[in-house]
Amino acid sequence: MVLPDNVLFEGGAGETLRRRTLRDFDVHTMLRLPTGIFYAQGVKANVLFFDKKPAAERRWTERLWVYDLRTNQHFTLKQNPLRRHHLDDFVSCYASGKPRSERVETERLKSFTYDELMARDKANLDITWLRDESLEDMDNLPAPEVIAREIVEDLTAALLEFEAVASALEADSES
C-alpha cells in the first residue's frame, strides 16, 4: 500500500486507522521513499508491506521493519531519477523468501516492536533515525536550484493540502 507521509502521523481517523491496521494485519515492512515518487511533487511517500490475516482476538503485527531510502538521498525527476539499482540494498535487506526473524538491522533498516509503535504519540509511524547530513554540513548543501525546487515542491504540496481542507469545510457548511 502506498501512503503519503501525513497518513503516518495525523490524529483522529488517521490514528484510528494505524492502530487498527497494526492490530488486524501483519504490518511488517515500510519503505520510506523520497519526494515525488508516487504522488505530486513535494509529497513524500511510503510503501507499507503487510499480510492479511484471519480475524482474531490477538494482534497480528509483532515487529515493523522500516527502511529509509529518503534521508541523505537526493533524487530528481530529470537529472537524478530513482532507478531500480537504488532499491538493491532494500531488496537485499527485505530478504524475500526468508523468515523476517533473519533480517539484520543496518544503517538504513531498523525494526520496531508493536509495543514501541503503540507507545509513540498517536501511534505515529513517521519514524526517522538517520541524521540528515545536508542540514549539518553547510559546505555540502545541494545546489541552489535543487533547494529551490524542493521548496517549491513542499509549498505546492502544502497548498494542495490546504485546498482539500478548504473544500471539505465548504462542503460541510453547505450541508
Out of 15-19, 55-59, 132-136, the most confident range is 15-19
Provide the CATH number for the domain formed by 2-130 in this structure.
Answer: 3.40.50.150
Instruction: Please calculate the CA angle 146-78-66 and round it to the nearest 5 degrees.
Output: 75
Residue position matching grid coordinates 504519540: 121
- Mean pLDDT lowest for which of 24-28, 96-100, 146-150? 146-150
pLDDT of residue 133: 66
Q: Which long-range contacts (CB under 8 A, 24 or more apart) does 97-103 make?
A: 100/28, 100/63, 100/65, 103/65
pLDDT beyond 90 at 36? no
What sign results for the dihedral spanned by CA atoms 138, 151, 78, 47? positive
- Annotated domain spans of the chain: 2-130
Rounded distance between C-alpha atoms, residue 86 and residue 103, angstroms = 19
Out of 73-87, 98-112, 129-143, the most confident range is 98-112
Confidence of residue 28 (pLDDT cuts 50, 70, 90): very high
Rounded distance between C-alpha atoms, residue 13 and residue 19, angstroms = 10
pLDDT of residue 136: 53
What pLDDT, in 10s, does the model give residues 84-103?
999 999 999 999 999 999 99
Residue 164 β-bridge partners = none
CB 112 within 8 A of CB 66: yes
- Phi and psi based region of residue 173 (left: phi greater than 0; alpha: psi -120 to 50; beta: remaining): alpha
pLDDT beyond 60 at 134? no
Per 3-state DSSP, the chain is made up of helix, strand and coil in percentages (nearest 5) of 45, 20, 35
